[in-house]
Amino acid sequence: MLKQLNMKVGVNNQNLNVSMYTCRHTVATKLGNTQGMSYPWVANRLGHSLKMFIRTYVHVDEDKS
């Protein structure tokens, strides 16, 4: 269903598999790289400890490089 939705709205995923996990990871990474965002708030929303959130989701955002 997600694949069909991507095609319908014109998402170019460059033939990469898009899943709910990859969507969650992308959103979490974007939130983790948003200036002024509260890491504890995001970690709580994801159901993770702060340490787990930072270790798992906070990466270099290539869009800002």
The three-class DSSP label of residue 12 is coil
* Phi-psi domain of 37 (left: phi exceeds 0; alpha: psi -120 through 50; beta: other): beta
- What residues contact 26, with CB distance under 8 A and at least 6 apart? none
Per domain, the residue ranges of the chain are 19-64
- How much is the CA Rg of the chain, to the nearest whole Å? 14
- Give the model confidence (pLDDT) of 3-18 as tens digits: 788 778 888 777 777 7
> pLDDT of 20-62, one tens digit each?
888 888 889 888 888 889 999 999 999 999 999 988 877 665 6
Residue with tokens 């995001």: 42
pLDDT at 46: 92
> Quick check: 65 pLDDT over 60?
no
